[in-house]
Chain A
Amino acid sequence: MYRYDEFDHRFVAERVSQFRDQAARRLSGELTEEEFRPLRLMNGLYLQLHAYMLRVAIPYGTLNGKQMDRLAYIAEKYDRGYGHFTTRQNIQYNWIKLEDTAEILEKLAEVEMHAIQTSGNCIRNVTTDQWAGAAADELADPRPVGELLRQWSSLHPEFSYLPRKFKIAVTGSPHDRAAVRVHDIGLRMHLNDKGERGWEVIVGGGLGRTPFVGVTVRDFLPEAELRAYLEAIMRVYNLYGRRDNKYKARVKILVHELGKEEFQRQVEAEYARKPATNVELDVAELQRIETYFAAPAYEELPKFSTGFENARIQDKEFAQWVKVNVAHHKQQGYAIVNISLKPEGGIPGDATAEQMRVVADLGRRFSFDEIRVSHAQNLVLPHVKRDDLYTVYIALKAHNLASGNIGLAGDIIACPGLDYCALATARSIPIAQGISRRFADVKRQEEIGPLKINISGCINACGHHHVGHIGILGLDKKGEEYYQITLGGSSSDDAAIGSILGPGFAADEVADAIEKILDTYLGLRTGPEETFLLAYRRVGEKPFKEALYANH
């Protein structure tokens, strides 16, 4: 894992003291709320419906036990004993006081964390594959590039007042778990014949009101040029991105309005004007960072773990959990443990301080002190010995952390919605809870197979409903919440935006509607290997429409 050196420490400490000063000037009235707003936003502090919300960055979703313990401490001391892990691999606290914020930031800085640029019209926290460094299918760990970009984008003097927020995702695996096609910039690693790393640069993807799948502007950008090339993209966007309409200000609109070729031409012209002169510095920095991401000291283990196999035979529930929640590790004898934060009827992504401490402790004991946050709002212990899986499972189970539903119907992504968010048009949490209860039976979830249900509480799409296999968007019709359903979206390699099925449903009809859709799917699939998404792509929306609207 990356560790701060004295420069990183100094930088974050100064940032905290700067914020302390800004908050004091706001509290004394020297700064108007309007002037203070972007300053606090750039430190992750939002004003929500009932209180301030503080969003803490978890760069590329990686953290250690000490950091997780600190997040638990903050949840207890300054919030109501829990935190909410987000779709951008961050954590947010919903009940924070402005007066406490500088102190919280100080506590975070002590464990090498911050809230820099988790909000505001700047380059946001970089996200990546939650299995980075562990996945069996990975070309190389993308996190060194994630860290390079974290540093480069932190308080970037030229790109801190962009037309709109800017999100970057990176992946080092051919199987995209970072949704790189639906980010402002998505970076995907490739290897050439010589085994050198290069990056496919995808620009202009995004969700929100006008969802787009991004376009590839470079197929194979040499790694050393990454930072310089990104600077050219950012400059074109900063100068020519629309600022007249907040809803047209994301880079996806610029790319769309100019067209891929013209956008690409402008970026290349800017890049050619200022060729990467200092790539040596980038290379040196990247090499320095890479040393922190060296593989942990794995033991040489046999393929077969007797303890694990016995436990699997004796405890059927464990066997089921393993089947669904445990993934292949690149190192023989190890496994990736996915911890679901989606218990039956729970709030997706919420964890109590106690649960955070349990995970921190398990990470220290069984996963080389490494924990990940996934963009599906779950947690991951990336390097667990197969021999230890049962012990880990029992500990998780004791704290309601052993739901075996990763990637299934119960693994719902949902934004905070009207329960917290000032922009919401409808609630999303109760909808998620309703569906989660309806499909509580793991057997049934397994029968249905891989499924992504994503829920947003308004058109801003923080719950990524466009790319859910089943997407649910909460809207408001004359004071009544109603929910629009889309089918066929995906954020993976086969990225696609879902299409709207038909008229919306009232809150209490949603779970029924989802059930009908899934029953229809089960009835028409060619076999269990034809997933919901594949089946939908084969048959189209007609059978689902008929099932849903036949009696309407």
Chain B
Amino acid sequence: MPIIKDGAFAPDPWVAITDDQPIPATGDIWVSLARLDSDWGTLCSHAGELGVEVPNTTKAEKLKPYLGKLSLILLPFPAYTDGRAYSLARLLREEGYIHDLRARGNVLPDQLQFMKQVGFTSFEVTDRFPAEVWTKAAQHISAVYQEGYTEPHAARTAIWEARRARS
């Protein structure tokens, strides 16, 4: 599956380690939350980068002890209408998680902007849509009312702030 990161298709340097595969000594890997729990002893001193996929029913507090070691968190969209991962992403950002946050599953261009606004930074997508469609979709609405939902580096105006600055 192609990855979109920083506004363009990008290679995926990460290797998914399924629950029945042994954990390699090196390399950037991601595991399930169950695996992270059970093999934390080994994983906490993993030589490469470490990531985890968490179900969208997970409580954010559950991840708190691991956050310092993680540099990729994958949140699933089992259906694009299932919006739980938006809140979970937002919570993780509020908890201070600063590394890559990836959306996977039913990720479509029309939801890309919202995903970026709540803190997602990479996207596992299908190859159904060309790059321009994704780029355009993420830029359609350039001004937003919600405070604190404008992602860094995006040319998006936070309307209430802009009004206040002007008055």
Q: A152: which of B115, B145, B162 is its contact (CB, 8 Å)?
A: B145
Partner-contacting stretch, out of B15-23, B26-34, B86-94: B86-94
A238-B84 in contact given A14-B143, A155-B144, A158-B118 (Cβ < 8 Å)? yes
| B151 (CB) vs chain A CBs: closest residue | A157
Complex contact B143–A157 (CB within 8 A): no
Complex contact B159–A157 (CB within 8 A): no
B82 touches A (CB below 8 Å): yes
Interface 1/0 per residue, A1-30 and B, CB below 8 Å: 000010110110011011001100000001
Q: Which B residues lie within 8 Å of A271 (CB)?
A: none
Complex contact A158–B143 (CB within 8 A): no
Q: How many residues of A contact B (CB 8 A)?
A: 39
Q: How many residues of B contact A (CB 8 A)?
A: 39
List B residues at the A interface (Cβ < 8 Å).
80-84, 86-88, 90-91, 94, 108, 110-111, 113-115, 117-118, 129, 136, 140-149, 157, 159-164, 167
Complex contact B145–A11 (CB within 8 A): yes
A274-B94 in contact given A156-B146, A235-B87, A238-B87 (Cβ < 8 Å)? yes
| A160 (CB) vs chain B CBs: closest residue | B114
| B129 (CB) vs chain A CBs: closest residue | A30
Interface 1/0 per residue, A182-204 and B, CB below 8 Å: 00000000000000000000000
Complex contact B160–A281 (CB within 8 A): yes
Complex contact B86–A158 (CB within 8 A): yes
Complex contact A159–B163 (CB within 8 A): no
Please list 5 pairs of residues, one from A and one from B, whose beta carbons are closer than 8 Å in the complex, sorted by A's number: A7-B143, A121-B83, A155-B141, A161-B81, A284-B163
Complex contact A281–B164 (CB within 8 A): yes
- The complex places the Cα of A243 from the Cα of B56 at a distance, in Å, of 12
A157-B81 in contact given A17-B140, A235-B87, A278-B148 (Cβ < 8 Å)? no
Complex contact B164–A157 (CB within 8 A): no
List A residues at the B interface (Cβ < 8 Å).
5, 7-8, 10-11, 14-15, 17-18, 21-22, 30, 35, 38-39, 121, 151-152, 154-162, 235, 238-239, 243, 273-274, 278, 281-282, 284-285, 288
Closest Cβ of chain A: how far from B67's Cβ, in Å?
A: 15
Complex contact A21–B159 (CB within 8 A): no
Q: Which A residues lie within 8 Å of B159 (CB)?
A: 7-8, 11, 151
Complex contact B147–A284 (CB within 8 A): no
Complex contact A11–B141 (CB within 8 A): yes
Q: Which A residues lie within 8 Å of B83 (CB)?
A: 121, 158-162, 238
| B61 (CB) vs chain A CBs: closest residue | A273
A7-B157 in contact given A152-B145, A161-B80 (Cβ < 8 Å)? yes
- The complex places the Cα of A15 from the Cα of B141 at a distance, in Å, of 7
Q: Which A residues lie within 8 Å of B136 (CB)?
A: 21
A281-B81 in contact given A18-B141, A158-B90 (Cβ < 8 Å)? no
- The complex places the Cα of A235 from the Cα of B163 at a distance, in Å, of 26
A14-B164 in contact given A121-B81, A161-B83 (Cβ < 8 Å)? no
| B141 (CB) vs chain A CBs: closest residue | A14
A288-B163 in contact given A155-B144, A238-B86 (Cβ < 8 Å)? yes
Complex contact B86–A161 (CB within 8 A): yes
- The complex places the Cα of A11 from the Cα of B160 at a distance, in Å, of 13
Complex contact A157–B149 (CB within 8 A): yes
- The complex places the Cα of A281 from the Cα of B115 at a distance, in Å, of 24
